[in-house]
A and B are shown apart, each in its own frame.
Chain A
């Protein structure tokens, strides 16, 4: 499971920068944040903060922003979500939508404020005002996150894995024409 996690994080970071080269507005959907939120909702806060740091630092290395800013904001976001999910049931597919939106908003605010604090004010290279950039980022991340989370469920969800194994056994039985064992 850990190698699947590592591949997901690496893929999210690489795709975030390479897909933006094909069509710039794709950068509004924060793929590393989506992956971090998904793992933060699995009730392991230690894993969540590590995933947040690795994904954030990976994004910073490819960005011209401050090194560590994404790492800071994603780590904090992951921890708060992981702490919240142990107290409130927010990890069902429907509630993931507002959770994703809230996480995107919080992460964007923290990232922006860190740059302002350290004298490196960000701009709006895609046009529009700062508020519009905030809004687009939250909307795109929420929509993309809802879809991608379903895909991640098939990879990491225990129930899905057991169901796949059960049906694989039944398909094997049907192909070989074996009769059911009698106990």
Chain B
């Protein structure tokens, strides 16, 4: 077949340009409007690259770990002393925590609570990250075949990471909590003891979170811990979100503006866990309202 001349290419190129631009714009418009969930084709594409991602991150991670080991040896002894002290403190706290847990179970039985949430963690490895500089998401090597589903929370021992926004057979996409479209119900301080309840969402800058709607009458200090409330019906209650790093004090009529540093190290995630958490069923409101039959005459 004869090669096309430059003249033929120049005649055909604008037509192809218009067709392809229209196709891409159509895809963008559909995706921007579609709120029903992820495009199926994204799940397939992520599953297709997952073997390459696993291979690349496996080999590259081993190489980087080798060099990191040498770099970290210098501070190892001092860090060792600090860690021993922290371990001793943690063991004391664990003992106290076990006592509190036992007491909690006894009290629940006394109050006859229904069996609460149970979920299992599915360990997963990060195999790819968002290829764009403007968004922050991960691809992990677990999918529907491992029991992973949309909107399941993703956590590390240090705190929550995000939630599943796309899932294929063997991989899933995680939207990080620092994404501006992400949010979680949270409270500053102890769950059940503090009234500084609000919502954390991605701040979009510097890897921080922004906590909103915390009443200006509540006392919030730098360094306070932030945990999930479970009211968003995505994250189980009591999981660590992070610590308060900046506060713009509110007043009686304005809420605080709080910046939170996430507990999980979102820039260097390697292993995470997906919680197969399903929130407890809500009772239909009309069954719980007192004096439902208001139409009856006295």
Contact = CB atoms under 8 A, between A and B. Distances in A.
Interface of A: 13-24, 27-28, 32, 43-46, 49-50, 52-53, 56-72, 75-76, 79, 82-83, 86, 111-112, 114-115, 118-129, 133, 136-137
A163 B4 CA distance: 26
B156 to A, nearest CB: 15
Given A62-B49, A125-B178, A53 B127 contact: no
A57 B24 contact: yes
B28 A133 contact: no
The 3 closest A-B pairs by CB, nearest first: A123-B204, A122-B134, A68-B27
Interface of B: 4, 6, 9-10, 12-13, 16-17, 20-21, 23-32, 39, 41-42, 45-46, 49, 52-53, 56-57, 60-61, 64, 126-139, 165, 173, 175-176, 178-181, 202, 204-207, 267-268
B31 A66 contact: yes
A146 B205 CA distance: 30
Contacts, number: 199
A17 B30 CA distance: 24
Nearest to B270: A21
Most buried by A among B16, B129, B135, B175: B129
Given A14-B49, A18-B52, A123-B179, A64 B137 contact: yes
B268 to A, nearest CB: 8
B56 A61 contact: no
Nearest to A67: B31
A115 B13 contact: no
11 contacts: A13-B131, A20-B128, A21-B57, A46-B4, A57-B24, A71-B20, A71-B23, A75-B20, A115-B134, A126-B133, A133-B134
Contacts of B176: 125
Given A61-B41, A64-B165, A50 B20 contact: yes
A16 to B, nearest CB: 4
Contacts of A24: 129, 267-268
Contacts of B206: 127-128
B73 to A, nearest CB: 21
B207 A127 contact: yes
B110 to A, nearest CB: 46
B12 A46 contact: yes
Given A21-B53, A49-B17, A63-B135, 15 more contacts: A20-B128, A22-B64, A24-B129, A62-B49, A64-B135, A65-B134, A67-B30, A68-B26, A68-B28, A68-B31, A76-B17, A79-B13, A122-B135, A125-B176, A125-B207
B132 A63 contact: yes
B129 A56 contact: no
Contact of A21 (B6, B31, B128, B178): B128
